[in-house]
A and B are shown apart, each in its own frame.
Chain A
Amino acid sequence: MLQALADGILTGAIIALGAIGLTLTMGILRFANFAHAELITWGAYMALAAVSLLGPLGGPIGPFSFGLPLILGTIAAMALTSVLALAIDGLVFRQLRGTSNHLTLVFASFGVSLLVRMLILLIFGGAATYYSNTLQIAIPVAPGLRLMPDQLFALGLAAVLVVALYLFLQHTRLGLSMRALAENPDLTRVNGVSTARVIRWTWIIGASLAAVAGVLYGLTVQLRPEVGFHLILPLFAAAILGGVGNIPGAVIGGMIVGLAESFAVFILPPGYKMAVPFLILLAVLYVRPTGLFAGTAGAAK
């Protein structure tokens, strides 16, 4: 039981990081970006490439299975994922942003997600890999609870990033502009805020968080080209649960989805656990169509 709680929180933290980026782009750019999950995969694999280049820089630090190469690799992955996100935006989404039909953008994002996944498959192959092949043995923390040092690291990093992002949005001018754009785009533009700049930063923040989510996923689970594909539905469930555009909502949504998947195994055969986020999503949408917490006014329109 305790183990399921710990696993659920960890899965939830990774989903939350991905869902924050998704909820930001959904709130500010006003379309469901199915390619967002592929940014997670891309980030994870960029870090893998960096680790294989930087390997000689140092071995594992302390109780963790990774060292300096992965930390530098994560930073490189954040940059490279941001570049990819901006490139996708410039080449695809910006061209389509003027079209009246929102579905055009959604379908374009489907196409982009396929392209990115195939590109990863082409470069890195389809087999499952790990940042480090050494197996980390979980340490018994309490009766019935075992944790790996890497998992604690992942949880800690996710928490720090969420808090930092929240402070950034509340206390900086750029954060204020982002919230304003999500709330009312026209009024924001009238007030002289550069929407292009805000959109650019939205992509960078969303993509960087996605890259970190990918690295943490690769660190605590494994790397596969289908990582993003398997995460896409939990991500959407988390973002919608929390209310589109609502960042604390996305975090709580991620936790709910992660815990629900983890605890579902006690009731349902493990094969059906993937269906659990949907059941929650359906239940929430039935009772509260705008999500558990109110989303941004713009997104709710």
Chain B
Amino acid sequence: MRRYLCSTAAALAATTFAAGSASAQSCEVNVGAVLSVTGSMAAIGSAIGDAGQLAVDHFNEAGGVNGCDVNYILRDDQGSPNVGVDAAKTLVEIENVPVILGAIQSGISLPILSSVTVPAGVTQISCCSSAPSFTELAEEGGTDGYWFRTLPTDRPQAVVMATIAREKGYERIAVVHVNSDYGNSLAGNFEQAFEALGGEVSSITPYNQEQASYRAEINRALQGDPDSLFLIAFPADGATAAREWISFGGSQNMLLSNALRAEEFVNAVGAQYLTEAVGIDNAQVEGESVEAFNASWKEQYESDPSGPGLHTMYDAAAVALLAMEQAGEADGTAIRDSVREITGGEGEEVYPGPEGFAKAKELIAAGEPIRYVGATGPITFDDNGDVTGPYLTWGVEDGALVTLDTWDIERVNEAMAGVSEE
């Protein structure tokens, strides 16, 4: 019952808006979203839903897609894969949506992708699912190209670290990583990239969290005389492992994962041992397009867009709608094929907001190429539907954390290309 109420409410909202918009249309095109509005992710889910709504509103204000009003249908997955798949099925079979935005959790996005959107030829764009399994699935051809996500995965991070390690002249590196999905995939990707660049990974040692001592793990990592260490850890355990690594004669040539960028870690290890260390972290994206989104969010919802997934959800919706406009029809396969035409490439840049979308529509109508630069900055989907983001590297100088270097998206893409060519 809740489902019907939900869709009725969404439809009502869309109708109300359409009545007030500058160009009332006679036709409608549906865009579906499956998000966790209730359940364990409820705290962030409804705001993410609002971000999608905002993009749709902006597009309607700019005149809709292909002359039709966009109808945003948000369905709740209640944090459960079963409910999510049901919701996606309803959207595809009854509402005839050509594109589904979502889901938030990888565990829900994956069954939707494999059992609903790919078989039905519907494009799926997620704001928030970061699991590496999607990349693997795409590489095996399991997504047929219908899968995109606007949140960077950890692969670029691994590639950037491998590039830095090779630039610093490290030949044999030991990897010690937290025994989780995140740690496993980052370590695996790093090994692949580092070996593609001609280095050798002497060992990969997983560790379990919350142990008092990692001496055994560190001893194992020290086997084979590595000249450097890549430590993928969280601050408290990372400090324990790094202390033991250094005191047992491990090299101070250390690479550190993003979570270690914490004062707590530096203080516990001792800044004097970290002068050679280089860490990585996601860089905060800045620029006009990001400001454009932030400003319109504040105007609409009277709060700061500070929650997770807001920028990526807006971009997911905007990419879907622009691709639909570019394709000229509300068809999943056509949208899939148009996504890369309106993102990467050399076209004229368009930004978030009604003016940006109006400009995009004009350019597309005139047959000019466009490039959407979104709430998360420039977006380039690779063959697997993954995006890259900008990174920064950090180190420790005079006992304090400092930023050493920044890697913008072009540089990250170059590094990615350097690895995949091999």
Binding site for B on A (CB under 8 A): 3-4, 7, 127-128, 133-138, 140, 146, 148, 217, 221-222, 224, 226-227, 230, 261-262, 264-265, 269-271, 273
Contact = CB atoms under 8 A, between A and B. Distances in A.
A128 B208 contact: no
Interface residues of B, number: 29
B205 interface: yes
Nearest to B273: A135
B240 to A, nearest CB: 6
Interface hub of B206, B268, B270, B273 (most chain A Cβ within 10 A): B268
Contact of A226 (B210, B215, B270): B210
B217 A270 contact: yes
Q: Is the interface of B mostly helix, strand, loop or mixed?
A: helix
A135 B249 contact: no
Given A133-B267, A146-B248, A270-B207, 20 more contacts: A3-B248, A7-B219, A127-B236, A128-B212, A128-B240, A133-B268, A134-B270, A136-B247, A137-B246, A137-B247, A137-B249, A138-B248, A221-B212, A230-B212, A261-B216, A265-B217, A265-B220, A270-B216, A271-B206, A273-B216
A124 to B, nearest CB: 15
B207 A222 contact: no
B239 interface: yes
Interface in B346-398: none
What are the 8 A-B residue pairs with the smallest beta carbon separation, nearest first?
A265-B216, A221-B213, A270-B217, A271-B208, A138-B248, A270-B216, A138-B247, A135-B270
A138 B179 CA distance: 27
Nearest to B208: A271
Nearest to A139: B249
Interface of B: 179, 205-208, 210-217, 219-220, 236, 239-240, 243, 246-249, 264, 267-270, 273
A135 B243 contact: yes
Contact of A265 (B219, B243, B264, B267): B219
Contacts of B264: 127
Nearest to B206: A271
8 contacts: A7-B215, A7-B219, A128-B236, A135-B243, A222-B243, A230-B211, A261-B216, A270-B220
A64 B217 CA distance: 25
Contacts of B205: 270
Given A127-B236, A137-B249, A7 B269 contact: no
Interface hub of B215, B216, B269 (most chain A Cβ within 10 A): B216
Contacts of A265: 216-217, 219-220
A127 to B, nearest CB: 7
A134 B205 CA distance: 26
